[in-house]
Amino acid sequence: MTAFASYQIFLEETGDIVLDGFCDHCSDPLVRVIETSEKDEPKERALATWLVKRELIKALK
């Protein structure tokens, strides 16, 4: 079984979620992609998250 450690979560412009981190057991780098853009409901939630993140970054500048 693979477990992530010290990971970051990214949201791609396509709406897919990317987990980038390291294996908890062997410390090898791991990258996993969760394809949310294939179904409408998850894609809409991912897009809303993307837009909110973009607006927050603009507001903080």
Tell me the domain boundaries of the chain: 4-60
Q: What is the mean pLDDT of residues 43-61?
A: 82
User: What 3-state class would DSSP assign to 25?
Assistant: coil
pLDDT for the residue numbered 10:
85
Rounded average pLDDT over 55-59: 86
* pLDDT given at position 1: 63
More confidently predicted of 49 and 8: 8
Which residues are within 8 A (CB) of 21 and not within 5 positions of it... i.e. 6 or more apart?
4, 5, 6, 7, 8, 29, 30
Distance from C-alpha of 54 to C-alpha of 38, rounded to nearest angstrom: 22
pTM: 0.61
